[in-house]
Chain A
């Protein structure tokens, strides 16, 4: 701090401090406190706000327990509240998305880091970047077109004779997962590539020379080295998927609802902002826990993830 004062003087130092204050306090922390505070307040008509009925309670959080439905999880049936079911399934399928993006991105990042000649790398990266620059809303829309009942996928499969009648692809969670994978696979690829690129190729050669089969080289040498990259990519993809509203809303599979859609329904259709705050806070709490657990499991710090 003194160092800052000496270098840039009082005026500039105070400018830095006040800008940071504005960002962290006014834009980040106070709104989150307001979110928490609102989440305990009841939904009242305007003239009753601040009146005797405006007391703190857990009622908004209790709303998540309403409306019991049957929950079928891999053949296990048990009753569960509809909104908890959506919450659990959102998390589960976000995990599935993360796993699939990892499986897709791992070989490619190895190829980019260790196989391809460095000369053609910039061109390849540019080709990979182009779809990333196309807006997410349009990429989801593209999959909506592909997967519709009379869409190209069904027509293609029927033409080559794999299926005899149209399949309803937009049903359940699979179309949402497919589109999320497409939307976020590059967020897995780049951190993986960064980690793999920093591995000394001699280590791979040494493992080969010592007679390790290729899969053991990957398992014992390359994979452990990539751990920070895997953690970074996995956290990024998981958070983006669990927090995505655009993709599930555009795919609009009525049997594949996402938790963010529940929040959107309460906020914008129900206009119950306080209950919306409660649900948003639950999502925030879950994300915080998920990131901390991931950091513990992979033994990485926040700065590794932010890379």
Chain B
């Protein structure tokens, strides 16, 4: 019985991974098919023409550049804003804190369509026209919430006594911030920057309503899928999946090396302890 259940678990895990990965494989496979429509069946022979078409598609490279510029702008604004919000929430208590916290978390649950339209209308009344700058503002409004949650979680493990000690020893406020608080928050800020970057690249709803005429990658792919699809999109998809895979494998290798080093260090520590015991 025990064995059976374990086996079923493994089987389900494998099936689930297959379910997650097969659509991506189908999509990537279509990038090499000579058929004019993006499909794997019927197979009309290998081709690299879609990759060449992708390379020669000027609009897509503009879209890639726009996407990266927007993502960097979002990181630059969302990380300090989210961190400031977390520090503020962390320093107060009671009812005000609950309200402030609620207001900071709520944007995550607001549909992107609503954020996009409200941002567009709000800035329009000040004669700020649509464009990628509005996309950045709209995206920051909910991406800052993710940063806030990460920084707030990190602040829970922060020993405020360190700040007291520094102040007692004559450190300035700037030094307390720079030398004590920020170093403690670096991991959360780094994770926040990464999440902001990826959330921004992924964003579609907010961007669609605020972008004006400019393209980002998701919007471009979307318009391409809606109007005459060619497997160029599949070629692009394959490239993006490859980038993801390389990053994932690199991360996994780094993690394993770290685990190995730690295990070795632990083993050495144990040996040293044993040796000490023997000596005494």
**A residues lining the B interface (CB < 8 Å):** 1, 3-4, 6-9, 11-12, 15-17, 19-20, 22-24, 27-32, 34-35, 38, 104, 107-108, 110-112, 115-116, 122-124, 126-131, 133-139, 141-146, 148, 150-152, 155, 182, 214, 235, 239, 242-243, 245-246, 249-250, 252, 260, 263-264, 267-268, 273, 276-277, 280-281, 283-284, 287, 291, 302-303, 305-306
Contacts and interface: CB of A to CB of B under 8 A. Distances in A.
Contacts of B6: 115
B149 interface: yes
28 contacts: A4-B88, A4-B91, A8-B177, A12-B174, A19-B81, A22-B81, A23-B81, A28-B141, A31-B121, A35-B122, A107-B12, A111-B13, A131-B21, A134-B24, A136-B202, A139-B24, A141-B233, A152-B26, A182-B23, A242-B111, A243-B111, A243-B114, A250-B222, A250-B226, A264-B208, A273-B120, A273-B121, A283-B111
Given A23-B141, A142-B24, A108 B105 contact: no
Interface string B244-269: 11011001100100000000000000
A285 B224 CA distance: 33
Interface in B134-157: 137-138, 140-141, 144, 149
Nearest to B220: A137
Interface in B145-177: 149, 160, 163, 167, 172-174, 176-177
B5 to A, nearest CB: 8
Interface stretch (B34-42, B44-52, B54-62, B185-193): B34-42
Contacts of B272: none
A232 B137 CA distance: 27
B109 A7 contact: no
A245 B208 contact: yes
B23 A276 contact: no
Most buried by B among A3, A8, A250: A8
B76 interface: no
B73 interface: no
Contact of B91 (A3, A260, A291): A3
Interface in B198-236: 198, 201-202, 204-205, 208-209, 217-218, 221-222, 225-226, 233
Contacts of B110: 284, 287
Most buried by B among A104, A110, A131, A137: A137
B252 to A, nearest CB: 6
Contacts of A281: 114
Contacts of A245: 112-113, 204-205, 208
Given A116-B13, A135-B202, A284-B114, A130 B245 contact: yes
Nearest to A151: B39
B275 interface: no
Interface in B96-123: 100-115, 117-122
B244 A134 contact: yes
Contacts of A146: 23, 26
A277 B120 CA distance: 10
Contacts of A280: 111, 113-114, 117-118
B111 A142 contact: no
Given A11-B173, A35-B118, A141-B221, 16 more contacts: A30-B122, A32-B114, A107-B9, A126-B248, A126-B252, A133-B244, A135-B240, A139-B24, A144-B225, A245-B113, A245-B205, A250-B226, A260-B205, A268-B208, A276-B117, A280-B118
B225 A306 contact: no
Contact of A1 (B13, B21, B92, B124): B92
A252 B226 CA distance: 8
Contacts of B205: 243, 245-246, 260
Most buried by A among B12, B92, B173: B173
Contacts of A30: 122
Nearest to B102: A302
Contacts of A111: 9, 12-13
Contacts of A273: 117, 120-121, 124
Given A111-B13, A124-B13, A135 B218 contact: yes
B173 A9 contact: yes
Contacts of B122: 30-31, 34-35
B20 interface: yes
A134 B12 CA distance: 22
A305 B101 CA distance: 12
A16 B105 contact: no
Given A135-B202, A141-B221, A280-B117, A152 B41 contact: yes
A19 B84 contact: yes
B41 A108 contact: no
Nearest to B117: A280
